[in-house]
Chain A
Amino acid sequence: MTPETHVAPTRPEPHRPTATGEMYPQAIDLDVVRAAHKAQYEQREEIIADGNVAAAIAALQMWRAVIFPGFPITPSTKWIETVASRIAGDAANRKRVKLLEAEHAVADYMVGAAASCRDLIVATATSSVGLDHMTETTRSLGASGLGNVMIVDVYRATANFPLCIEGDPSDTLAHRDDGFIQVCARGKQQIYDTMLQMPCLGMHPDVLTPTMPGYYGIKDSHRSGRLLVEADRDVHAWQDEWIVPCPLPGLINGDTAFGNCVTSRHFQGFKWSQKERLARVLDLLPEIGRSFEKKFGRPGLAYYDEVGFPEDGRVDVAVVGMGPDFGTFEFLRPAFADSRSVSVAGVAMRLLTPFPRAALRDRLAGAKVVLVVNQAHHSGRGHLTLDVVDALSDLDQPPVVVSAFAGMGGANVSEETWEAMLDHARLALAGHRLPPYALFHEGVRT
């Protein structure tokens, strides 16, 4: 089948009524869409790319993703620029970028596009207040059942006074209850790989929940390095194993999720169903991750990355963090442990929503002290800290939780700052009572 077939007249099959709406199975011929895909890569290649380019390439490689609505905002702008320039640079590429008036318009556009065909993926990227501007719609999208929506969040400090374009995860952490599946990636390869896996998770018939993969602005979005890209056909073959035709019409329960006022009884039942679909992610995510690793030979989706845990899980200090700064901790961990005669391990969170509390509890149960490093503004002990404390609350003798802030607004988290935080945690190891949280910068507790 050639792309030209796309223009041939087709006669849609008569619509088919279902309990939740009507379906028009032949209105969009997916075989034609698939055949019209223009490959980015014919074979596996090693290139140099930054995080935005890595994410853009992955989006373009998915045959189901044919239209990309967007509105630029630093530091996510290069994502839509890359998508647009690659499409514009190849006359045979029939995908389209739709530049809209603002982020709210983008989110609304995604609703229509995604609901028109739930077997196609509609992706965009945004940051910070861009995500905030979408909020009215993202909260509806989270309940819509449109798992084919993907909003790439390039993390940037949310507070706009003072304005800061650097990356911290306060935007994504402020949207924990929008209803999206939120996964944090770090490093070009993980960003690329995560993008390819997210639709498999969101579009799974048990889940049907939009996804929000994300990565740190500037620190990852603008950091270049080696990237292994897969051949488009291999990406398609693997995704097709996971993504099956959606059994439902446009939106769950017709348009109920987008505007109709319902009784509180119905609302509660609807929300519980939404919560159960989200919880199913905890089962499926590791499966998809294992499948990805089997296909491509690299680690796939996981609740978290971990480093330094012995077989029995017993360590003096376990660190919980997220994002690229965790790499600096990984780098200095062995030398720090040797110099202080303590055992140190750590996890970098990947799945943020739903939070994998049981798995994290089991991982941290053998630690004496857990140091949680928060990088987003929070009025209390920190988003991550509260989740970790909750996860550990099931234990009879939970570890002492030490809460730290560092790197807000993308501030540098230097080796000296990591050492200062770890030394702070060692005080708890020695039996000192520490304040609920502390801020670290340039190697000192401030």
Chain B
Amino acid sequence: MKLLDPADLLATSVLELRGDGKAGGGLVLAFQSLASLVQREGHHVQEWPFFSSARRGANIRSFLRLSHRPIEKACEVSRPAISVLMDEVAAQAIDFALGVPEGGTFVINTRHTPEECARHYHLSGRVVTVPGDEVGTKYLRHPIGNVSVYVACARAIGGFKDEAIVESFLAALERRHVPDSVLARNREALKATAEFIREGVFDENKGHERARPGFTGYGTLPIGGQTGLRLSRTNKTANFAPSGFRLRFADPSDACTGCTHCVTNCPEGIIRWQPDAERGMKVLGADVSQFCKLCGECVAVCPEHLFTQAAFEEHWEEEEAPAP
């Protein structure tokens, strides 16, 4: 497999990037900072986001074109040489690797290793990982990975001085009138990121079909759902959870009283239940695959505390665990 050289694409044609994440997760700032970094070198840039549902936590996608010459093309980036996954929860609804040419680069904000990611997401090409949320928690007191992902992307493209990488991001923050104390913490995070970046080349997409699906119609707009024509395979608005969490229902001691509070308070109507002779009804769980935004209503109202937030990665580990 011949790897695509991002620096060569930038110098000779157009380097295209695409990022997937959640609104509020810093993807747009990361791409804006990358654009500034490249523009400082005299190149042309084109950066813009696509917002799905305009609310915090919804899936978003961002695009970036970089070139040594003026950029005419205005359509979305469908064959990115670099694909960025800012939030792994976003990958539940979309295939962030779709359309990436052979030998492309994947930059992922994750605690997992490049090898684990390549295997899990079926990636062929160069896989770059950085535990951005952890870096963010340590230096910014908030699990936000965009600082680290930005650094990882800049280094994946190559050719930038470390100081320029730091200053370009800080300049973007300054334009947003961020306080000096926050700037200082971001500077630390930017400088510290390099040691956490890991990368490798893998070919784990063998036999895994990743052709772009043909147009199959616009679909119907489900009750409670908003349009997800381009970003969601399920055409649902899901995953409005804080990064890394999802709703979990557990009732091992059969404690549900049938009070129905969760059913009547859930704004999305996703609580699953069945009639029960003694209690009137009994809650079985919640269909988190569709509309659950993890708004917390059920968590708050259940008198038996049967609903909780659960770490999403726990789900991944469960999914991949060998059968007993």
> In the complex, which of the residues A164, A223, A411, A446 contacts B47, with contact meaning CB atoms closer than 8 Å?
A223
Inter-chain contacts of B221 with A (CB < 8 A): 162
Among listed B69-77, B196-204, B284-292, interface-contacting one: B69-77
CB of B75 within 8 A of CB of A165, answer no
Residue of B nearest to A332 (CB): B73
CB of B75 within 8 A of CB of A412, answer yes
Tell yes or no: A224 within 8 A of B by CB: yes
Inter-chain contacts of B74 with A (CB < 8 A): 219, 324-328, 413
CB of A218 within 8 A of CB of B51, answer yes
> In the complex, which of the residues A165, A222, A413, A443 contacts B215, with contact meaning CB atoms closer than 8 Å?
A443
In the complex, which residues 401-446 of chain A have their Cβ closer than 8 Å to any Cβ of chain B? 411-415, 417-418, 441-444, 446
CB of B215 within 8 A of CB of A444, answer yes
> In the complex, which of the residues B177, B215, B230 contacts A446, with contact meaning CB atoms closer than 8 Å?
B215
CB of B75 within 8 A of CB of A414, answer yes
Tell yes or no: A85 within 8 A of B by CB: yes
Tell yes or no: A168 within 8 A of B by CB: no
Contact residues on A (Cβ < 8 Å of other chain), bracket: 35 or more
Given contacts A48-B36, A85-B177, A444-B215, contact A224 B75 (CB under 8 A): no
CB of B51 within 8 A of CB of A165, answer yes
CB of A165 within 8 A of CB of B44, answer no
Inter-chain contacts of A162 with B (CB < 8 A): 221, 226-227
Nearest CB in chain A: distance from B105 CB, A: 22
> In the complex, which of the residues B51, B73, B215 contacts A442, with contact meaning CB atoms closer than 8 Å?
B215
CB of A327 within 8 A of CB of B48, answer no
CB of A444 within 8 A of CB of B214, answer yes
Given contacts A218-B51, A224-B35, A443-B215, contact A48 B45 (CB under 8 A): yes
Tell yes or no: B78 within 8 A of A by CB: yes
CB of A223 within 8 A of CB of B48, answer yes
Given contacts A48-B36, A218-B51, contact A413 B177 (CB under 8 A): no
Annotate A139-172 by CB proximity to B: 1 below 8 A, 0 otherwise: 0000000000000000000000011111000000
Tell yes or no: B154 within 8 A of A by CB: no
Nearest CB in chain B: distance from A401 CB, A: 24
CB of A415 within 8 A of CB of B75, answer yes
Annotate A5-17 by CB proximity to B: 1 below 8 A, 0 otherwise: 0000000000000
Nearest CB in chain B: distance from A48 CB, A: 5
Given contacts A218-B51, A328-B72, contact A414 B44 (CB under 8 A): no
CB of A223 within 8 A of CB of B76, answer no
Tell yes or no: A245 within 8 A of B by CB: no
Tell yes or no: B91 within 8 A of A by CB: no
Given contacts A331-B73, A441-B215, contact A225 B46 (CB under 8 A): yes
Tell yes or no: B50 within 8 A of A by CB: yes
For B47, B48, B177, B229, the residue with the greatest tally of chain A CB atoms inside 10 Å of its CB is B48
> In the complex, which of the residues A74, A327, A441 contacts B73, with contact meaning CB atoms closer than 8 Å?
A327
Residue of B nearest to A333 (CB): B72
Tell yes or no: B244 within 8 A of A by CB: no
Tell yes or no: A378 within 8 A of B by CB: no
Residue of A nearest to B226 (CB): A162
> In the complex, which of the residues A74, A89, A326, A414 contacts B177, with contact meaning CB atoms closer than 8 Å?
A89
Tell yes or no: A226 within 8 A of B by CB: yes
Residue of A nearest to B216 (CB): A442
CB of A224 within 8 A of CB of B73, answer no
Nearest CB in chain B: distance from A437 CB, A: 17
Tell yes or no: A330 within 8 A of B by CB: yes
CA A225 to CA B75, docked complex, whole Å: 15
Tell yes or no: B49 within 8 A of A by CB: yes
Given contacts A74-B54, A412-B76, A414-B75, contact A224 B47 (CB under 8 A): yes
In the complex, which residues 382-403 of chain A have their Cβ closer than 8 Å to any Cβ of chain B? none
Tell yes or no: B83 within 8 A of A by CB: no
Tell yes or no: B265 within 8 A of A by CB: no
Given contacts A224-B32, A226-B39, contact A411 B229 (CB under 8 A): yes
CB of A224 within 8 A of CB of B48, answer yes
Annotate A283-296 by CB proximity to B: 1 below 8 A, 0 otherwise: 00000000000000
CA A413 to CA B48, docked complex, whole Å: 15
Tell yes or no: A232 within 8 A of B by CB: no
Residue of A nearest to B28 (CB): A222
CA A85 to CA B51, docked complex, whole Å: 24
Nearest CB in chain A: distance from B237 CB, A: 12
CB of B48 within 8 A of CB of A50, answer yes
CA A225 to CA B63, docked complex, whole Å: 12
Inter-chain contacts of B75 with A (CB < 8 A): 325, 328, 412-415, 417-418
For B36, B54, B75, B230, the residue with the greatest tally of chain A CB atoms inside 10 Å of its CB is B75
Given contacts A324-B74, A414-B75, contact A226 B44 (CB under 8 A): yes
Annotate B202-217 by CB proximity to A: 1 below 8 A, 0 otherwise: 0000000000001101
CA A165 to CA B23, docked complex, whole Å: 14
Inter-chain contacts of A226 with B (CB < 8 A): 39, 44-45
For A163, A325, A417, A442, the residue with the greatest tally of chain B CB atoms inside 10 Å of its CB is A442
For B44, B50, B72, B177, the residue with the greatest tally of chain A CB atoms inside 10 Å of its CB is B72
CA A403 to CA B57, docked complex, whole Å: 39
Residue of B nearest to A53 (CB): B175
In the complex, which residues 215-253 of chain B have their Cβ closer than 8 Å to any Cβ of chain A? 215, 217-218, 221, 226-227, 229-230
Nearest CB in chain B: distance from A438 CB, A: 14
CA A54 to CA B229, docked complex, whole Å: 30
For A162, A225, A418, A446, the residue with the greatest tally of chain B CB atoms inside 10 Å of its CB is A225
Annotate B20-60 by CB proximity to A: 1 below 8 A, 0 otherwise: 00000000000010011001000011111111001000000
> In the complex, which of the residues B39, B226, B229 contacts A48, with contact meaning CB atoms closer than 8 Å?
B39
CA A411 to CA B75, docked complex, whole Å: 9
Nearest CB in chain B: distance from A188 CB, A: 10
Given contacts A412-B76, A414-B75, A443-B215, contact A223 B46 (CB under 8 A): yes
In the complex, which residues 249-266 of chain A have their Cβ closer than 8 Å to any Cβ of chain B? none
CA A96 to CA B174, docked complex, whole Å: 23
Annotate B63-94 by CB proximity to A: 1 below 8 A, 0 otherwise: 00000000111111010000000000000000
Inter-chain contacts of A328 with B (CB < 8 A): 72-75
CB of A327 within 8 A of CB of B72, answer yes
Inter-chain contacts of A415 with B (CB < 8 A): 73, 75
14 new A-B contacts, CB < 8 A, other than A225-B47, A328-B73, A412-B230, are: A85-B177, A89-B177, A163-B226, A164-B227, A219-B74, A325-B74, A327-B73, A327-B74, A413-B74, A417-B75, A442-B214, A442-B215, A446-B217, A446-B218
Can you list 5 A-B pairs, Cβ within 8 angstroms, ordered by A? Answer: A166-B50, A219-B74, A223-B48, A226-B44, A415-B75
Using a CB–CB cutoff of 8 Å, the interface residues on chain A facing chain B are: 48, 50, 74, 85, 89, 162-166, 218-219, 222-226, 324-328, 330-332, 411-415, 417-418, 441-444, 446
